[in-house]
């Protein structure tokens, strides 16, 4: 069934593991993520960015995820990833999303606090938790070109959480969206430091391209949610390309869709095990 991300992340924080949050673009990816979660007995978050929502709309993604989760025996949350406006957050909320991110990290602190607080005020009466972001994740996410990594300041983080009322916080600790052009400089000591002063679960963005060891280190220092997007797109597309290359006469989307779905499921299962969320349901 669909659940909010709140208890899921608090359980992860308590248990010292992270929930995997996977970006889905289409039905096959949604099916793959849920199948992986079921097979590993893992709680899971499925998320869509504004760019993805532009492609098919909140209603279609909500219907897809809720139908796929209907008979699932593990908790599934549907999350708005990098929400970029109050309007989109409310649209997702109304469509039935059970978890919302508002990303004001490009703004100065005061403005980030103001917009995040506003989104929390809309979501809180519906019991829907909000993820905020303070500090910057590098790389390019969606249509927004990042302006480099910005490490989260612990003092600002404490103030941000207290003033906004967010349920979780995405932090800048050296990761970047997409595949790394240069080796990331992860500051795991900063994660540990933030963990000491923050009560809410912390979120790691930009996990595609990180080594298993990097992810394990971040989780052991206090990360409770890890986001994976690019590597799933790659797994999906590589499987389609390979299949069509070997079977150029095939025109049934179910044929290559099944291969792509299998490839995404395999990738998701690997990452879930690294996050340590397997066997938690
Ligand atoms: P990657 O594309 O690097 O996996 O980042 C995912 C992410 O942070 C989605 O919000
Ligand atoms: Zn992200
Ligand atoms: Na990345």
Identify whether 73 is part of a domain: yes
Which residues are CB-neighbours of 110 under 8 A, at least 6 positions away? none
Cα Rg of the chain (Å, integer):
18
Identify whether 1 is part of a domain: no
Q: Which domain does 77 fall in, by range?
A: 6-275
| Active site residue ranges | 81
Identify whether 18 is part of a domain: yes
Give the whole-angstrom CA distance, residue 75 versus residue 150: 33
Give the whole-angstrom CA distance, residue 195 versus residue 75: 25
- pLDDT tens track, the chain, 281 positions: 899 999 999 999 999 999 999 999 999 999 999 999 999 999 999 999 999 999 999 999 999 999 999 999 999 999 999 999 999 999 999 999 999 999 999 999 999 999 999 999 999 999 999 999 999 898 877 766 566 779 999 999 999 999 999 999 999 999 999 999 888 999 999 999 999 999 999 999 999 999 999 999 999 999 999 999 999 999 999 999 999 999 999 999 999 999 999 999 999 999 999 999 999 99
**Residues that place a CB less than 5 A from ion ligand 2:** 205, 227
Annotated binding site for Zn(2+): 82, 103, 133, 177, 205
The domain spanning residue 270 has which CATH number?
3.20.20.70
Q: How far is the CA of 161 from the centre of ligand 3 (A)?
A: 25
Q: Which CA distances in Å does 105 have to 6, 77, 115, 181?
A: 21, 23, 10, 22
Identify whether 109 is part of a domain: yes
Ligand nearest to the CA of 80: 1
Identify whether 281 is part of a domain: no
Q: Token pair for residue 92?
A: 């997702």
Identify whether 158 is part of a domain: yes
> How many domains is the chain partitioned into structurally?
1
Does this model's pTM top 0.90? My answer is yes
**Number of the ligand 1 atom closest to the C-alpha atom of 139:** 3
In this predicted complex, what is the ipTM?
A: 0.99
Identify whether 197 is part of a domain: yes
Identify whether 74 is part of a domain: yes
């Amino acid at each position: 069934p669909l659940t909010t991300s709140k208890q899921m992340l608090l359980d992860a924080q308590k248990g010292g593991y992270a929930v995997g949050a996977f970006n889905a673009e289409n039905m096959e990816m949604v099916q793959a993520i849920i199948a992986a979660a079921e097979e590993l007995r893992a709680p899971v978050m499925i998320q869509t960015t504004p760019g993805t929502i532009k492609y098919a709309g909140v209603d279609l993604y909500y219907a897809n995820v809720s139908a796929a989760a209907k008979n699932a025996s593990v908790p599934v949350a549907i999350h708005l990833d990098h929400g970029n406006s109050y309007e989109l957050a409310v649209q997702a909320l109304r469509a039935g999303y059970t978890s919302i991110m508002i990303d004001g990290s490009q703004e100065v602190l005061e403005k980030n606090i103001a917009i995040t607080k506003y989104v929390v005020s809309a979501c809180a009466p519906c019991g829907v938790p909000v993820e905020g972001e303070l500090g910057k994740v590098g790389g390019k996410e969606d249509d927004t070109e990042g302006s480099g990594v910005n490490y989260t300041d612990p003092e600002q983080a404490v103030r941000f959480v207290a003033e906004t009322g967010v349920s979780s916080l995405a932090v800048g600790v050296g990761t970047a969206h997409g595949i790394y052009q240069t080796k990331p400089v992860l500051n795991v000591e900063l994660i540990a430091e933030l963990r000491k002063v923050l009560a809410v679960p912390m979120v790691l963005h930009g996990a595609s391209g990180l080594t298993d060891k990097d992810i394990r280190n971040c989780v052991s220092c206090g990360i409770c949610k890890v986001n994976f997007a690019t590597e799933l797109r790659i797994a999906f597309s590589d499987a389609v390309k390979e299949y069509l290359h070997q079977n150029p006469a095939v025109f049934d989307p179910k044929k290559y869709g099944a291969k792509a779905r299998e490839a995404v499921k395999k990738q998701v299962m690997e990452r879930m095990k690294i996050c340590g969320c397997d066997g938690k349901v």
